């Protein structure tokens, strides 16, 4: 999609953006984060920046709670209840009850748990209704690959079929064979966002359950799991939640499903009485049954630091205010690219309507996308690159606009650096074409 033209008589200036920053009620939230001087960090959709409280928190957990408290800290420092306590803090960000969310394991492991439970749930529901067996998991072709890998493996184990369709064909593909619809709320490549309530209603009308991946929406856009009548959800702790590299993820199960089915990774932390050490497994009541093994206490503690800024934002309008700023930042980014980078073959992969996009802007270019991103990084503007597969999926220059710590002048400066990279041809230098392990 081409970037829409703007009125050439009224270009936005850096001074205009400075005025917007001065009037921004959320501006003080940036002070909670340790951002290297001179860096414009537009990759919070891949890894959030470090909260200033994280280093002291890690030191306290390691030197005091572990070093001095030792095993007593499971009780005295509250280690044992960390998954539930952090889950209760995540719950307001995703529209869930405070006793319905766990912070635990990775997004992929949590997806394995909830998708397996959903398949059991769907199969049981068909049997109870004496209906034909539903043996299909439906997802979109451009879903995040690890979600598709987990689904493919489970389908192979359980005798289901994974069916992939384009986003526009999801509704028409919801037939009597579909047991579960698996979707990522905000697409990792394009930033396109599904209408969660409409999708849930359509899936339920067709007799299917819905599993949502919130990796690119939790902390970036308002999510209403309960109000939209979702069934299951998982999400990431190290992107917009700023929990640190490899931070524990989270999961949610609607209360109507929680106690009906066991999750497949039946570990001792999910036992009804873990310290009774009985040889047989009895699942805990409620969401706690979705725990598995001993939890990573240091990582969980750091995730708590990442949630502090959202709690501070509550007094400033919460997720609604963050969403309004996110949209203003992305509107500005798109407009400035249209004004200042015209004629350089840059396209837009992100939908323009607000209701259809998350908190990232994804640009396309027929050639040089990887090298352009590398040239920007060398200039102190950090985005990332996602490879395409030709005309259907072009190469993507991806920019996450995290409203907690990105300002309007940051956006102006980032686009100015992009303009200079494109106009100078700097991206063609050999060092910017060298591939790295992580793109």
- Respond yes or no: is residue 112 known to be catalytic: no
User: Which CATH number fits the domain that encloses residue 210?
Assistant: 3.40.640.10
pLDDT tens digit at each of 439 positions of the chain: 566 655 555 889 999 999 999 999 999 999 999 999 999 999 999 999 999 999 999 999 999 999 999 999 999 999 999 999 999 999 999 999 999 999 999 999 999 999 999 999 887 764 444 456 899 999 999 999 999 999 999 999 999 999 999 999 999 999 999 999 999 999 999 999 999 999 999 999 999 999 999 999 999 999 999 999 999 999 999 999 999 999 999 999 999 999 988 889 999 999 999 999 999 999 999 999 999 999 999 999 999 999 999 999 999 999 999 999 999 999 999 999 999 999 999 999 999 999 999 999 999 999 999 999 999 999 999 999 998 876 678 899 999 999 999 999 999 999 999 999 999 999 999 999 998 888 7
Task: Check 41, 112, 144, 370 and give the catalytic one.
Answer: 144
R_g (Cα) of the chain, nearest Å: 23
Residue 7 lies in a domain: no
Query: Do residue 270 and residue 374 come from a single domain?
Result: no
Q: Which residues fall within 8 angstroms of residue 244, CB to CB, at 6 or more apart?
A: 50, 54, 237, 238, 299, 302, 303, 306
Residue 291 lies in a domain: yes
- Tell me which residue range forms the domain holding 380: 14-51+318-433
Q: 54 φ, ψ to 5°?
A: -70, -45
User: Which CATH number fits the domain that encloses residue 42?
Assistant: 3.90.1150.10
Query: Do residue 105 and residue 167 come from a single domain?
Result: yes
Residue 61 lies in a domain: no
- Respond yes or no: is residue 144 known to be catalytic: yes
Residue 245 lies in a domain: yes
Task: Check 238, 240, 370, 432 and give the catalytic one.
Answer: 238
Query: Do residue 332 and residue 372 come from a single domain?
Result: yes
Residue among 244, 228, 219 at smallest CA distance from 401:
219
Residue 6 lies in a domain: no
DSSP 246-297: T---EEEE-HHHHTTS--S---GGGBSSGGG--SS--BPSGGGGG--S---H
Query: Do residue 86 and residue 42 come from a single domain?
Result: no
Query: Do residue 42 and residue 82 come from a single domain?
Result: no
Task: Check 105, 213, 384, 395 and give the catalytic one.
Answer: 213
Residue 220 lies in a domain: yes
- How many domains does the structure of the chain reveal? 2
Sign of the torsion angle spanned by Cα atoms 313, 314, 316, 320: positive
Q: 281, 311, 341 — which closes off a domain?
A: 311
Q: In this structure, what token pair is assigned to residue 390?
A: 């030709």
pLDDT for 9 equals: 55
Q: 289, 311, 333 — which closes off a domain?
A: 311
Query: Do residue 107 and residue 229 come from a single domain?
Result: yes
Query: Do residue 305 and residue 199 come from a single domain?
Result: yes
Q: 311, 327, 344 — which closes off a domain?
A: 311
Task: Check 134, 239, 289, 335 and give the catalytic one.
Answer: 239
Query: Do residue 322 and residue 264 come from a single domain?
Result: no
Query: Do residue 163 and residue 299 come from a single domain?
Result: yes
Model confidence pLDDT, tens digit, residues 230-252: 999 999 999 999 999 999 999 99
Task: Check 113, 365, 386, 398 and give the catalytic one.
Answer: 398
Residue 9 lies in a domain: no
Query: Do residue 119 and residue 231 come from a single domain?
Result: yes
- Respond yes or no: is residue 239 known to be catalytic: yes
Query: Do residue 330 and residue 246 come from a single domain?
Result: no
Residue 60 lies in a domain: no
DSSP 316-363: GTHHHHHHHHHHHHHHHHHHHHHHHSTTS--EE-S-SSGGGB-SEEEE
CA atoms within 13 A on the CB side of 337: 27
Model confidence pLDDT, tens digit, residues 219-231: 999 999 999 999 9
Are 355 and 222 in contact by the 8 Å Cβ rule? The answer is no
Query: Do residue 269 and residue 396 come from a single domain?
Result: no
Q: Which 8-state DSSP code applies to residue 315?
A: G
């Amino acid at each position: 999609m081409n970037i829409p033209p703007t009125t050439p008589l009224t270009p936005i200036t850096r001074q205009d953006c400075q005025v917007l920053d001065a009037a921004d009620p959320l501006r003080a939230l940036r002070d909670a984060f340790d951002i290297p001087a001179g860096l414009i960090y537009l990759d919070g959709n891949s890894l959030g920046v470090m909260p200033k409280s994280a280093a002291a928190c890690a030191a306290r957990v390691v030197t005091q709670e572990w070093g001095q408290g030792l095993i007593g800290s499971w009780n005295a420092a509250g280690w044992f209840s960390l998954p539930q306590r952090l889950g209760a803090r995540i719950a307001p960000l995703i529209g869930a009850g405070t006793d319905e969310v766990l912070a635990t394991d990775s997004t992929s492991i949590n997806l394995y748990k909830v998708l397996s439970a959903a398949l059991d749930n769907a199969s049981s529901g068909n049997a109870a209704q004496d209906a034909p067996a539903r043996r299909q998991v439906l997802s979109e072709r451009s879903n995040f690959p690890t979600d598709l890998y987990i689904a493919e493996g489970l389908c192979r184990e359980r005798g289901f079929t994974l069916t992939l369709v384009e986003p526009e064909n999801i509704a028409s593909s919801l037939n009597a064979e579909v047991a579960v619809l698996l979707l990522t709320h905000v697409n990792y490549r394009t930033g396109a966002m599904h209408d969660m309530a409409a999708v849930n209603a359509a899936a339920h009308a067709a007799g299917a359950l819905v599993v949502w991946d919130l990796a690119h929406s939790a902390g970036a856009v308002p999510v209403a799991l309960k109000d939209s009548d979702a069934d299951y959800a998982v999400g990431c702790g190290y992107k917009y939640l700023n929990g640190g590299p490899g931070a524990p993820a989270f999961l949610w199960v609607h209360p109507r499903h929680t106690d009906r089915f066991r999750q497949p990774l039946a570990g001792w932390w999910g036992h009804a009485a873990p310290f009774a050490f009985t040889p047989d497994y009895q699942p805990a009541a409620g969401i706690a049954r979705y725990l598995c093994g001993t939890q990573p206490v240091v990582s969980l503690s750091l995730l708590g630091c990442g949630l502090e800024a959202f709690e501070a934002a509550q007094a400033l309008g919460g997720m609604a205010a963050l969403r309004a700023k996110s949209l203003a930042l992305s509107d500005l980014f798109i407009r400035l690219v249209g004004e200042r980078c015209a004629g350089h073959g840059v396209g837009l992969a992100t939908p323009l309507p607000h209701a259809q996009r998350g908190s990232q802007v994804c640009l396309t270019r027929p050639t040089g996308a990887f090298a352009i991103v590398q040239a920007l990084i060398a200039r102190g503007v950090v985005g990332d690159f996602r490879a395409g597969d030709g005309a259907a999926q072009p190469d993507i220059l991806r920019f996450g606009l995290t409203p907690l710590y990105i300002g309007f002048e940051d956006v102006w400066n980032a686009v100015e650096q992009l303009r200079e990279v494109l106009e100078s041809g700097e991206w063609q230098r050999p060092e910017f074409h060298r591939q790295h392990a992580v793109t």
